[in-house]
Structure formats: C-alpha cells, structure tokens
Amino acid sequence: MSFQDKSIQCADCGTTFTFTAKEQEFFQSKGYTNEPKRCPECRASRKERQGNGGYRSSGSGYSARRQMFPATCAQCGKDTQVPFEPREGRPVYCSDCYSAVRPSR
C-alpha cells in the first residue's frame, strides 16, 4: 500500500492544505475512511472550542473524578448523588428519575 500527498481544500477557511502520505497512513491505521475536511489550524481551533462542554452524553457519561453530593430524589425519595450542590427549592433526581423527567433528546 502506498500513499501520496494530497491537496485538500479546507471546508472552514478555504485554505488548501496537504494531506500527507504519512497522515493518510495514520488515518488508515485508525480505520478512518474519510479524508479530513479541515486544515490543521481549523481542526485545532475546533478542538479547543469543543474541549469544555462535554456534558452531552446521557446516561453513563459521569466521570469518576467529579465531586458528588448526597441528595434525595424528589421523584422517588431514593438516596442518590448529584454532581452539583443541591439547593433548597430545587428538585434533585436520581439518575433513573432524571432521565425520566428530562425529555430525552
């Protein structure tokens, strides 16, 4: 298998960048079938922007390092832990009820 350097136009800024043979090899070794659509700079800046708000995955996405606070579920009364400090007047749900109460997207 041999690869050749390839010129690709960045979908974000329009710059033509080189998808090098080495990178193609790397991509293939990772099992990626798509070519990169963005130049390295745009990829880096996208990564930076996506770095923080990673709270999208529902269900098993809790990181073990997050500080947890004991709370009582407002729905079923079960003792649970929540990743934020419970405030008075704000209902807290266990993970089961939370997913039931929240409309899933």
Is residue 45 part of the contact set for Zn ion (CB under 5 A)?
Answer: no
The Cα–Cα gap between 13 and 86 comes to 44
Total chain residues near Zn ion (CB under 5 A): 12
- CB-wise, 2 or 16, nearer to Zn ion? 16
17-34 b/e with 16+ CB inside 10 Å = b? bebeeebbeebeeeeeee
Is residue 94 part of the contact set for Zn ion (CB under 5 A)?
Answer: yes
Is residue 73 part of the contact set for Zn ion (CB under 5 A)?
Answer: yes
- Which H or E run contains 79? strand 79-82
The binding site for Zn ion (CB under 5 A) comprises 10, 12-13, 15, 39, 42, 73, 75-76, 78, 94, 97
